[in-house]
Amino acid sequence: MIGEGEPLQDFGAKSKIEQAKEAVQAATDTVRVTTQTVAGAIEAGRKPGAPLDRLAHWARAAPLHALAVAFLAGMVVGRGRR
């Protein structure tokens, strides 16, 4: 009967679409903040003398045969631990 149970329309409550929009906006904000944090960490790591800068320098300076030897040594050590 009319008047029993839930009302047909609840104008005070948020619609499902509004709730979905808020959830998407919150997720977007979280991704934006995380992206900025990661980008800042990468920039800090690439400053002269920082770990990423040194790693990039070593990778550019390492001859190919040295990298092959390091790879093979890693394979030997990795297989030896099984």
What is the per-residue pLDDT across 39-62, written as a single tens digit (0 to 9) for each?
999 888 888 888 888 878 877 887
Tally of helices (H runs) and strands (E runs) in the chain: 3, 0
* 67-76 pLDDT tens trace: 888 888 888 8
Q: What is the pTM of this model?
A: 0.50
Instruction: State the residue range of the domain holding 21.
Output: 16-80
| Length in residues, the chain | 82
The sign of the dihedral angle between the CA atoms of 70, 76, 79, 82 is negative
Is 69 inside any structural domain? yes
Q: Is residue 27 part of a domain?
A: yes
CA–CA dist 1, 68 (Å, integer): 81
Coil vs helix vs strand at 1: coil
Position 11 in a domain: no
Domain presence at residue 7:
no
* DSSP for residue 14: P
Residue 9 is encoded by which pair of tokens? 């329309």
Domain count, the chain: 1
Residue 36 lies in a domain: yes
